[in-house]
Amino acid sequence: MISTTTGSLATSKISGGWLNGFIGVLIFSGSMPATKIAVMDMSPVFVTIARASIAGLLALAVLILLREKRPAKSSLWSLVIVAFGAVIGFPLLSALALAHISSAHSLVFLGLLPLVTAIFAVLRGGERPKPVFWFFSALGSLLVVGYAVYQGINTSPLGDLLMLAAIVLCGLGYAEGARLSKTIGGWQVISWALVISLPLMLPLIFVFKPVSLSAISPGAWMGLAYISLFSMFIGFIFWYKGLAQGGIASVGQLQLLQPFFGLALAATLLHEEVSLNMLAVMVGIILCVAGSKKFAK
């Protein structure tokens, strides 16, 4: 009876992890289109600083309101890694990339994110996927790199490199945050990471603020609002909790859905072209990550 109950609780926890992870991915899917809209009228650096500052102030207010205890000193280094990867690194590099490439093109690179997250789950989270997992990981990576090289004439090599670097830092931030979420909680991780970033981000707003705020379109402000509130804070609450509950490498595969949701938004909101080649590459990536998911444990 005890073992049955324990098994049921474990299954329920894993199911909850997948549900929370799905909600997080759904929220993140609007990040690239919303960022693209924002950088049309604002510099990528300002967009990065503003989104981190707005989310950081919100996180600080929530921590104070709920009287949350400060994290232990042993957790500070992990929080710095989360801040470097998820709060500053990925937002800045992806925003810079979107100044050179379309949001639809950037979404192809997100197909690499589950693999990168799983790699950091091994390096930082102690998870141990089966050897066959790495075959699918390498094959998926080759598909993305091959597509970027093939499309080099029609896109920006700089934009592609920036997106690749952004994905690496994002995977690091995801895995480290998920590992830490098991001890201090999902929303606490992103909240403290944002608060740690505030002393750096807030002063820089005045350094990089646009010359004329009136010249910024309402759409750009809405894009900034979305990535500040949802992509930078609310989405992480569900995402980190899901990764902690269901396993970083396993639940991380849900990120495969993000390019599809994002492409739909890019085509609808930005009227960007979604080519058959792009869809074919993403299908190939999905097959590779489906294989890696099977051998994640």
Residue-wise pLDDT for 144-171, tens only, equals 767 766 665 456 788 889 999 999 999 9
pLDDT at position 297 is 61
pLDDT at position 114 is 79
Residue 158's nearest CA partner among 168, 148, 150 is 148
DSSP 155: S
Instruction: Report yes or no: 35 and 227 within 8 Å, Cβ to Cβ.
Output: yes
Query: Which has more pLDDT, 31 or 293?
Result: 31
Is 80 exceeded by the pLDDT of residue 14? no
Distance CA 285, CA 110 (A): 10
pLDDT (mean) for 93-117: 82
Instruction: Report yes or no: 138 and 76 within 8 Å, Cβ to Cβ.
Output: no
Distance CA 193, CA 79 (A): 5
Mean pLDDT of all residues in the chain?
Answer: 84
Give me the residue spans of the domains in the chain: 29-294
Distance CA 10, CA 197 (A): 35
Percent of the chain with pLDDT over 70: 88
pLDDT (mean) for 130-145: 75
Query: Which has more pLDDT, 118 or 39?
Result: 39
Residue 169's nearest CA partner among 226, 101, 95 is 95
Long-range CB contacts (< 8 A, 24+ apart) of 281-285?
281/108, 281/111, 281/143, 281/144, 281/147, 282/107, 282/108, 282/111, 284/140, 284/143, 285/108, 285/111, 285/112, 285/140, 285/143, 285/144, 285/256
Token pair recorded at residue 41: 């009228």
pLDDT (mean) for 235-256: 83
Is 70 exceeded by the pLDDT of residue 1? no
Can you say whether residue 247 is alpha, beta or left, with left for phi > 0 and alpha for psi between -120 and 50 degrees?
left
- Give the pLDDT confidence of 18-27 residue by residue, as tens digits: 889 889 988 9
Distance CA 94, CA 118 (A): 20
Per-residue pLDDT band for 136 (boundaries 50, 70, 90) equals: confident
Instruction: Report yes or no: 166 and 111 within 8 Å, Cβ to Cβ.
Output: no
Distance CA 275, CA 291 (A): 25
Q: What's the distance, CA 200 to chain centroid?
A: 21
pLDDT (mean) for 39-45: 93
pLDDT at position 154 is 57
Is 80 exceeded by the pLDDT of residue 89? yes
Query: Which has more pLDDT, 124 or 296?
Result: 124
5: CB partners within 8 A, 6+ apart: none
Residue 56's nearest CA partner among 86, 36, 24, 97 is 86
pLDDT at position 155 is 67
Q: What's the distance, CA 140 to chain centroid?
A: 18
